[in-house]
Structure 1
Amino acid sequence: MSTHKIGIIMNGVTGRMGTNQHLIRSIKAIREQGGVALGDGEFLMPDPILVGRNEGKLQRLAEAHGISRYSTNLEACLDDSYNVIYFDSQTTVRRAESIKQAIQAGKHIYCEKPTATSLEGSVELARLAREAGVKNGVVQDKLFLPSLLKMKRLVDSGFFGEILSVKLDFGYWVFEGDWQDGQRPSWNYREEDGGGIIVDMFAHWRYVIDNLFGNVKSVSCLGATHIPERVDEEGNKYKATADDAAYAIFELENGVIVQANSSWATRVNRDDLLTIQVDGKLGSAVAGLRDCKVQHRVNTPKPTWNPDIPNPFDFEEQWEEVPDNAVFDNAFKVQWEMFLKHVHQDEAFPWDLLEGAKGTQLSDLGLQSWKERRFVDVPDIKL
């Protein structure tokens, strides 16, 4: 058995998502399992260096999770040939420039989305990476959720027959920060800092829709800022300049219609924070974050509309759970392992910076649709 180390610059992991999903549940978990298995007794061991602006935060985070390397000097880390991969989970407004530096330094790129604050910026990153010949990938974590892996299984098996429509409902109540701390950072609600739920979530909906149900042809979107004033981390009131809810319809090239509600100003009365219902001629399915349930054509009940009597049906009992039939690992960790194998062994990894640009494109077009109050077509992206 032999183990190969691979140096990874991790920029911006002091934030909530970077710490929990990328550092603790992905890289640290991979290290604790002995690395990524490559076959024939070979393993790939990630050796991260944590990078950021606050040395104290970096030191505490590194010591808490057994990481020996940290730095506030990104340029020095990029100059070190030991570091092969550059990972970025900074706020969106800082991401593109740092990725450009890393591409220029010849590093392979893995990053969170949105990859840039505009389609032009995202496409530029994809073009620069291709010209430099560096491997690149974008986090598309929801594709690896247990529920959506089950949903993909149903799609591939022909369970639905012809898919007619998809209903996607995401969100929860994010506290305003006055009498209860908010669960999201205040920059999420400032447009000038790259905030807004359209920018944040449409990047997700693009890869989920494209990979499971079909390519997006057009979008109609209505955004809203339901909570106009919030309180930040220091207890100061500020004006919310970004949207905290979006109500969208996506038309797919194959005729499927997708309705997508995204909100940080809604209280949850459904199975999970995210539910996706797919209706087809032969059957329907509803997925949360982990579970997926189905109702086939032959098991579909025949309710009738009668508001004059109590409802005689327990609709939720009329669905069957899709079995796991597999062991599901953390979605972020699964994609990290795939990207590490892509870099080390050249295994396939289709979710590159160009795919990330498609998410930014849908966000831009959603904002355009809201502004112009009309359906907007989604053109092909060319480098």
Structure 2
Amino acid sequence: MTKRIGIIMNGVTGRMGTNQHLIRSIKAIREEGGVLLSSGERLLPDPILVGRNETKLKALAEAHGIERWSTNLEAALADDYNEIYFDAQTTVRRAASIRQAIEAKKAIYCEKPTATSFEESLELANLVKEAGLKNGVVQDKLFLPGLLKLKRLVDAGFFGKLLSVRMEFGYWVFEGDWQPGQRPSWNYRKEDGGGIIVDMFAHWRYVIDNIFGEVRSVSCLGVTHIDERIDEQGNPYKATADDAAYATFELDNGAVVQANSSWTVRVNRDDLLTIQVDGTEGSAVAGLRDCKTQHRVNTPKATWNPDIENPHRFLDQWDEVPGNQDFDNGFKVQWELFLKHIAEDAPFPWDLFEGAKGTQLSELGLQSWEERRWIEVPEIKA
């Protein structure tokens, strides 16, 4: 038996909304016949694509076999058939639409940041809680194969006492002059909600909290390395937002996390994101899909001697962590979990309060940069 569930998908004409949420998640789930529930029933998503551009919406719906689309959010929210509101708009538009969905008594699922300020993110979380609505925030990197392997190592006690984590993220985003930039221009305008701290610290908060330990303080330096770029129409504009951030986080368990985030770095590592974790018993290095380890008993005795050729091939002295399972698209996996949460009250801990934590860390990172000092991270209670 198959049950259909109406989902308002607002803002999916953008790159992330189209590729990850519509094509690789909702469309893929539909092609599989829906999400299998514990009752044996299948829950089939029935999306209605909502946005401001009728031409884009119609073309997107036709390209992917979606029957419903609309430029009228109010009408979609008024339809009782639509039980879920999903938001993948730009950050500056998200909070107002979520408020409308709360008033319409819809379950809420949205991208992060959930709002442009921590105050509003926390307010939205409380409004949803008071309304008794099920809700969730996309925290896709928790479902990456490399990070799932890291989490497996942490849970197994592989590292012993956790000492430090080094995160390197980024790549070169072209300025738009001799090659088009591969990120939208609003990312580089502070007034439009841009900036790598606002973008990435929401990710780093849930990655660190869920895998390594709760963040308790932050020291951050943001930089705008490239101060002029070319937009999608070929016009130069002033880059007013940070395009790189260099941060240190202290965790409640005493571990130290260093996180470099940059859209102005050329990649000389195994992946766009690499995370090295060091502990008393062993170390690991993870990328988006792969993870390798070095246990204390296999650690070579390195010595500093620049007068001789290096006798070690350090990169060859690590062991691959096997997958031991098939890894599906992380966005799709979390969508399936959220749909099960709606249909049968399955656990889903990644709610709007978790989303607010990400916005909080972004704000405190910006404050640390402005004031050039360490900032404590207060606990948020749901």
Give TM class, smaller chain. over 0.9
Unaligned runs of 5+ in 1: none
CA positional deviation for 1:377: 0.0
Moved over 4 A (4+): none
CA positional deviation for 1:319: 0.2
Which amino acid counterpart does residue 360 of structure 1 have in structure 2?
T
CA distance in 1, matches of 2:269, 2:310: 19
Aligned to 1:310: 309
Aligned to 2:207: 208
* Residues 1:337 and 2:340 are matched in the alignment: no
Say which is worse superposed, 38-47 or 334-343, in terms of deviation: 38-47
CA positional deviation for 1:306: 1.2
Aligned to 1:75: 74
Summarize the alignment of residues 19-168 of structure 1 with structure 2, pairs less than 5 Å apart: 19-168=18-167
CA distance in 2, matches of 1:323, 1:207: 24
CA distance in 2, matches of 1:209, 1:67: 37
CA positional deviation for 1:39: 3.1
CA distance in 2, matches of 1:79, 1:106: 10
Query: Which whole-Å deviations, capped at 9, do the CAs of 1:137-172 have from their partners, x for residues lacking one?
Result: 000000000111110110000100001000000000
Aligned to 1:289: 288
SS at match of 2:58: helix
CA distance in 2, matches of 1:381, 1:281: 31
Which amino acid counterpart does residue 81 of structure 1 have in structure 2?
D
Say which is worse superposed, 83-92 or 312-321, in terms of deviation: 312-321
Query: Which whole-Å deviations, capped at 9, do the CAs of 1:9-54 have from their partners, x for residues lacking one?
Result: 0000000000000000000000001100013431000000000000
Aligned to 1:175: 174
* Residues 1:363 and 2:333 are matched in the alignment: no
SS at match of 2:293: strand
CA positional deviation for 1:131: 0.8
* Residues 1:193 and 2:204 are matched in the alignment: no
**Alpha-carbon RMSD:** 0.7
Which amino acid counterpart does residue 286 of structure 1 have in structure 2?
V
CA distance in 2, matches of 1:307, 1:111: 53
CA distance in 1, matches of 2:203, 2:47: 26
TM-score under structure 2 normalisation? 0.99
Query: Which whole-Å deviations, capped at 9, do the CAs of 1:244-293 have from their partners, x for residues lacking one?
Result: 00000000011000000000000000000000000000000000000000
Which amino acid counterpart does residue 269 of structure 1 have in structure 2?
N
Aligned to 2:378: 379
CA positional deviation for 1:309: 2.1
Which amino acid counterpart does residue 137 of structure 2 have in structure 1?
V
SS at match of 2:208: helix
CA distance in 2, matches of 1:236, 1:126: 39
Identity, % of aligned pairs? 78
SS at match of 1:62: helix
CA positional deviation for 1:314: 1.0
CA positional deviation for 1:304: 1.1
CA positional deviation for 1:200: 0.2
Q: How many residues align?
A: 382
CA positional deviation for 1:311: 1.8
Which amino acid counterpart does residue 238 of structure 2 have in structure 1?
K
Aligned to 1:221: 220
Aligned to 1:326: 325
SS at match of 1:39: coil
SS at match of 1:278: strand
CA distance in 2, matches of 1:183, 1:268: 15
CA distance in 2, matches of 1:291, 1:46: 31
Unaligned runs of 5+ in 2: none
CA positional deviation for 1:381: 2.0
CA positional deviation for 1:308: 1.7
CA positional deviation for 1:307: 1.3
CA positional deviation for 1:224: 0.1
SS at match of 1:308: coil
